[in-house]
Structure 1
Amino acid sequence: MTILTHVGGPTVLVELDGWRILTDPTFDPAGRRYGFGWGTSSVKQRGPALAAEDVGPVDVVLLSHDHHADNLDDLGRALLPRATTVVTTRPGARRLALPDVRGLTTGATTRLTAPGKPPLTVTATPCRHGPPLSRPIAGAVVGFALSVGDRPGVAVWMTGDTVLNRPLRRVAHRLDVDVLLLHLGGVRFPQTGPLRYSMDGRDAVELLALSRPRVAVPVHYDGWSHFSEPPEHLRGTLAADPGSRSAVRWLEPGTPTGV
């Protein structure tokens, strides 16, 4: 059984076969506006369900990208040295310069070992954090697929912040996923009008039909002013699709939940 604790936003503590894995650490309180570059910004509207000091020991931080505060804020950044290993993008690894930080490009893998735990293989999956040709502006982002020991399939897939595009569809069709962490919310900014920078509920329905995970857990869909899809609309969209409805689990923030 995998145990998930949703701290808030994209931040989830994943307890998997003895490994304690934290995704995209965000622990700042609500109320502050953060700049995202090129004149864009967002206000954090909801604080974390757990404080950083209450998370406990962390073996691995999976950091989809380090340059947006809704995925790594000040208190999240302060937590990174406590983790044994940080896995992120190659540019992010250079910027962070931590003792054991591993930078991956899409498709690359790294293997983690620790006494008393089965080996953990982390594979970077494709992300495009915006419309076509937006990578020079949005920066490098990756998702992560986790495999344990020699067990077939993917134990956990974290999509990261991405729109639904051809590379993501190909990966979703190919992977055999047990637990899927979906970054949603339909991010938009006034400066770029209708352009979206992350998936919405309709995208999630399509991705679930392709990947067919045993369990799908929406995260990073509320708590910031740059999310354009209201949570109730997201819930309605997923509930209206029979395949999505049977797979989706909604987590109570701060409550460890076996899935």
Structure 2
Amino acid sequence: MAGIKITWLGHSAFLLEAEKRLLIDPFISGNPMAPCTPEELNPDVLVITHGHQDHLGDAIEIGKRTGCRIISIHEVANYIKSKGVFAEGMNKGGTMNVEGIKLTMTNALHSSSIDASGFSFDGGSPAGFIIQINGRTIYHAGDTGVFGDMQLIGELYEPEIALLPIGGHFTMGIKEAVKAVELIRPKIAIPMHYNTFDVISQDPLEFQQSVESKTSTKVIIMKPGESIEL
């Protein structure tokens, strides 16, 4: 199976590198965990799970500078286009082939408004993504609570790797994320969306110990800026 490099940029931001570079939820400016600046990121494809600032992040600036293809739910794409940057909208259940990367949008249990310049814009609905890249299948759950159809996501797409929020308060916490692993049954789970701020403080070792005692899934705890190659 072909290889892929996965780099965690803190919070829910990841860079996936194979033949093409895919950037997810580029919250870099204002992210105390970010190991780089937005100017250091040069993706071919940029994916946004929903419109909250800690996920939309620097997407408009990166898109304007690099001309990368930006993919998001329809309403977020419309907002980005209103800022003079081209974006392509899709919706849940849909699949797009973008620069040889297959993207399928899934459900997520969350909210999704865009707050900018004192105004609130319709951010559509929050989402996750199944990403098929270089022979690997990765599930980025976005911001979400646990939901029963995660089992269906696991059955339909059989993701090898699941990127799952564990921070609690705004997303599922450790207990719920462990249940998500049981439903999805990936080979590898990587926790995200925790310890960026005090309100989402969690111990990833607790998540790792619980998952690995209950399932055959391996948990990889990453540090911001750290990469793994699979």
AA at the equivalent of 1:178:
E
1:206-249 CA-to-partner distances (Å, cap 9, x unmatched) read 1212222121111111212442xx322x4214313424585110
Do 1:174 and 1:211's aligned partners in 2 also have CA atoms closer than 8 Å? no
Do 2:106 and 2:130's aligned partners in 1 also have CA atoms closer than 8 Å? yes
1:112 corresponds to 2:98: yes
Structure 1: runs of 5 or more not aligned: 31-45, 114-118, 131-136, 188-196
Out of 132, 136, 141, the position equivalent to 1:159 is: 141
Do 1:127 and 1:168's aligned partners in 2 also have CA atoms closer than 8 Å? no
1:75-123 CA-to-partner distances (Å, cap 9, x unmatched) read 443113225211111110111116542212110111123xxxxx22100
1:20 Cα deviation from its structure 2 partner: 0.5
Aligned to 1:63: 48
Aligned to 1:34: none
Give the % identical residues.
21
Out of 102, 105, 109, the position equivalent to 1:128 is: 109
Please state whether the residue corresponding to 1:8 is helix, strand or coil.
Answer: coil
The 5-angstrom pairing of residues 16-165 of structure 1 reads 16=18, 18-29=19-30, 46-55=32-41, 57-66=42-51, 68-73=52-57, 75-81=58-64, 82-97=66-81, 100-113=86-99, 119-129=100-110, 139-148=124-133, 155-165=137-147
Aligned to 1:2: 4
**TM-score, length-scaled by structure 2:** 0.83
**TM-score, length-scaled by structure 1:** 0.74
AA at the equivalent of 2:103:
V
AA at the equivalent of 1:202:
K
Please state whether the residue corresponding to 2:182 is helix, strand or coil.
Answer: helix
Aligned to 1:238: 208
AA at the equivalent of 2:45:
V
Q: Take 2:177 and 2:123, find their aligned partners in 1: how far apart are those partners? A: 21
Q: Take 1:172 and 1:6, find their aligned partners in 2: how far apart are those partners? A: 23
Q: Take 1:28 and 1:208, find their aligned partners in 2: how far apart are those partners? A: 30
Do 1:25 and 1:77's aligned partners in 2 also have CA atoms closer than 8 Å? no
Structure 2: runs of 5 or more not aligned: 112-121
Distance change in 2, residues 1:99/1:174 (3 Å): same
Aligned to 1:217: 190
Q: Take 1:231 and 1:50, find their aligned partners in 2: how far apart are those partners? A: 23
Q: How many residues align?
A: 214
The 5-angstrom pairing of residues 190-209 of structure 1 reads 197-209=170-182
Q: Take 1:157 and 1:252, find their aligned partners in 2: how far apart are those partners? A: 19
Q: Take 2:158 and 2:187, find their aligned partners in 1: how far apart are those partners? A: 9
Q: Take 1:108 and 1:29, find their aligned partners in 2: how far apart are those partners? A: 32
Moved over 6 A (4+): none
Please state whether the residue corresponding to 1:231 is helix, strand or coil.
Answer: coil
AA at the equivalent of 1:8:
G
Do 1:28 and 1:47's aligned partners in 2 also have CA atoms closer than 8 Å? no
